[in-house]
A and B are shown apart, each in its own frame.
Chain A
Amino acid sequence: MADGPERTGAPGTTSAPGPDVDLTRFDDGVGRDLVPVTRPVEPRARADVRRSDVDRWGRSENFRALTRRAFDPIYKHWFRVEWEGFEHVPATGGALLVANHAGAIPPDAPSIMHGIEKDLGRPVYGLAEHLFRSVPIAGTLWARTGGVTAHPDNAYRLLHDEQQIVLVFPEGTKGTGKLYGDRYRLRRFGRGGFVEIAMRAGVPVVPIAVMGAEESMPMLFKSTRLAKLLNIPYFPVTAQMLALGPVGVVAYLPAKFRIRVLPPVYFDVAPNQERYSRSRVMEESERIRRMVQDALYDMLRKRRSVWFG
C-alpha cells in the first residue's frame, strides 16, 4: 500500500534515546502493520507542525533544561547532593525508582530527577497525587517538568510500553506530612501498588534512600483546620515559616543531601498477569521498605553533621 515517508516511523529511525516528541509521526505501537489500509494515504505530515516539544505526557525537555539550569546551583551549592551507587540506575529499559519522601514541600523529587537527567541523560517521570493536576499554573509547570498523575495505567504505560524511568514515593503525603520528631521513620508504603505495577510491567524496582530532605524543611506543627479549609493533605508550619513568615515557605535550610541507590530488585514473576498474589506483593513491598529504612539508618550512623554530611 502507499506508504508516505512519515509512516515508516520504525524505532531506530528516530534513533535519539530521548523522548519522542515528533507527533506528526504515527505511533509505532502494536498492530500497525497487520491488515491493509482502508485507503491509500498521501503524505501529509510536516515536521515543522510542532510549535513546542511537549510530549504525550505533558513533559517538555526544553522546559526541563531550563529548570535544570535554574536548579543546578541549588543542587550543587545549597544541598550539595552526593550520590552513592548511582550505577544502579539502569541506563536502558524501564525502571521504577522508589524513594523515601520528606520535607514539608519535598525537595527530594527534584533532586533525584535532576541528578539522573543530568548524569544519565534519561528523562524521569515523577508520579504524584492528582491534586497537582488541579492547581492552576503550578499544575502545568509540574506537568512540563515531568510530573504525571499516579494512576496505575499511567505507570504501566510509562514503564512497560515506553520503557521509561519512573519515580514514585509510596509513602505519599504520609511521608512529607510527618513532623520533625518522626524524621527518617518510614511510613507505610501505600498498599504495595508500586510492586504490583513493576511486576505487571516486568521492570525492576530501584530503591533509593534520601538523607537530608527531612532537615531541609522541618515541620513543627500541622494545622488540620487550615488543611481542610484549603482542601490539601496537610498545612505545614515549618521552622522557616516561624522565623521568616511567608518567605519561609520556599526557604530551604542548607542540609547536606546524600542519595543512596540500592541494587535493583527483580521480581521472579511473569509480567502482564491479571493479578498477583496479594501476600507476595505486600511481602515485597515491606522488604523494599525495610531496605530503604536500613539504608537510612546506616547513612545516619555515618553522618557527622546535618549541614556538612
Chain B
Amino acid sequence: MRALVTGLSTYWGGRVAQALEQRSDVEVVVGDDTRDPRTPLERTEFVRTDSSHSILSRIVRATQVDTIVHTHLVVDSTRTTSRTLHEINVIGTMNLLAAAGEASSPVRKVVLKSSGLVYGATKADPYFFREDVHRTGPATTPVERSLLEVEAFLRDFADDNPHVDVSLLRFANVLGNDIDTPFSAALRRPVVPEILGFDPRLQFVHEDDVVDALMFAVDNEIPGVYNVGADGNLPWSEVCAIVGKRRVALPFFLTNLAVEPARLLRLWDLPPEAMALLRYGRTIDNRRFKQAGFRFGYTTATTVEAFAQALRLAGALGETSPTYRYEREVEDFFRHSPAVIRDPS
C-alpha cells in the first residue's frame, strides 16, 4: 500500500501517519500540509503545499499512491476564518478529488474524515441520526456549509469512479488526552457554560477510536457513509459532573451574544455550531459502522471518564507534554542519507 495523508500537521494527519508507518504492508507514507509536522514521524515523507492542495495531482502522479486519507478538513471553526476554512475544506477537497480522479490515477481508495456537524442540531431532529437521514434545516454556519459541499463532491467522485473504494466517516465530538476541540477546551476551564434550562444529550468519541476508525476504513473495503460516535450519550450536566466542573448558565435567548464576552476573554471559544449542541444536542447512530465490523474502545460515558482522568493527571503534573519541532535537515538525513541503515533486518 502506498498512502497519502492530507493535513499531516493537523492532529489527525499526524496520528494517522504514525499508525500507517507502523504497518509493514504500507510501503510509502506521504503527507502534505502548509506547516511543519508537529508529531514525530519515522518514515513519512512530508511535502509542503498550499492550503488548497493545488500541486496534489503532481504528488499523486509522482508517488503513485493508491490510498488517500483525507484528514485535512477543518471542523472546528474557531481555528480559522471562514475564508480559509472554505479554501481548505471545499477547494482543497476539490483539488484532491480532481487529482485522484485523473484518467490514469493509481488511487483505489479514499477515506474522508467528516463530522456529525453535517446533521446540524435543531429541536425537530431525530434523537439518533442515521446516515441516510437528512438534516432538518439548511446549514446555518460556514463550517457546516463547507462540509456539506465537501460531502457532495465526494458523492460525485464516488459515482464517477466506481473502481475507487470511497469511505466517508462522520465523527461525533472528539474528546481525549491530546486533541483540542471547542468542547475539550471548554471542559479544561474552571467553569463550563450551559444554556439556562437546557440539558441536552451529547455524544462523544475518543480520539483513539477516531484513529482506529480511520485505519479500519483504510484496511477494509467499506464504501459508503458511516457515523462514528461512541455508544450512548450523556446529559451535558453529567458530562460536567464527571469532569468535575461547575456550570455557569447563559441566558436562553441571545445566547450567542451572551457568550461573546467569554469568547473575547478567551474563557470559552464555542462557535455557533457548538452552542446549538448545548441547546439541542446530537447523537449519531453508529450501528452501521459496527455492523461493518468496527468495535469501539470506549462508550460515550467511558470516553468522558477517560478525558476526566487525563485532565486530573495533567492537573497533578502540570503541562509537561513534550513539544516536538520538525527539523527538515534532520528528517531528511534519517530518511535519505545512505549512511543510515533503514532496514536492520
Contacts and interface: CB of A to CB of B under 8 A. Distances in A.
Bound pair: A and B? Answer: yes
Interface of A: 23-27, 29-32, 34-39, 41, 44-46, 49-52, 54, 56-58, 130-131, 133-140, 143, 148-149, 151-154, 157
Nearest to B215: A38
B157 interface: no
Interface stretch (B45-53, B260-268, B286-294): B286-294
Interface in B300-334: 300-302, 304-306
Interface string B197-240: 11101000000000010011001000000000001111101100
B232 A23 contact: yes
Contact of A24 (B128, B216, B219, B302): B302
B235 A26 contact: no
Nearest to A57: B127
A136 B297 CA distance: 35
Contacts of A32: 290, 295
A139 B301 contact: no
Contacts of A30: 287, 290-291
B232 A56 contact: yes
B280 interface: yes
B283 interface: yes
Contacts of A36: 293
A225 to B, nearest CB: 22
Nearest to B295: A37
A154 B127 contact: yes
Contact of A140 (B198, B216, B300): B198
B133 interface: yes
A130 B198 contact: no
B196 interface: yes
Interface stretch (B3-11, B96-104, B118-126, B163-171): B118-126
B12 interface: no
B299 A31 contact: no
A23 B302 CA distance: 8
Contacts of B128: 56, 153-154, 157
A152 B125 CA distance: 10
A224 B199 CA distance: 31
B299 A23 contact: yes
Contacts of A58: 127, 201, 235
A221 to B, nearest CB: 28
Nearest to B129: A153
Nearest to B249: A136
A154 B126 contact: yes
A195 B127 CA distance: 21
A136 B198 contact: yes
Contacts of A38: 212, 215-216, 219, 294-295
B305 A29 contact: no
B234 A23 contact: yes
B295 A45 contact: no
Given A23-B232, A23-B233, A37-B295, 12 more contacts: A25-B299, A26-B299, A31-B290, A31-B291, A32-B290, A38-B294, A44-B298, A44-B305, A137-B197, A143-B199, A153-B128, A153-B133
B312 to A, nearest CB: 14
B20 to A, nearest CB: 14
A178 to B, nearest CB: 25
A159 to B, nearest CB: 14
Contacts of B123: 130-131, 133-134, 149
Closest 9 CB pairs of A and B: A136-B197, A35-B293, A31-B291, A137-B197, A153-B126, A23-B232, A23-B301, A27-B231, A51-B241
A151 B292 CA distance: 26
B197 A56 contact: no
A16 to B, nearest CB: 17
Nearest to A138: B197
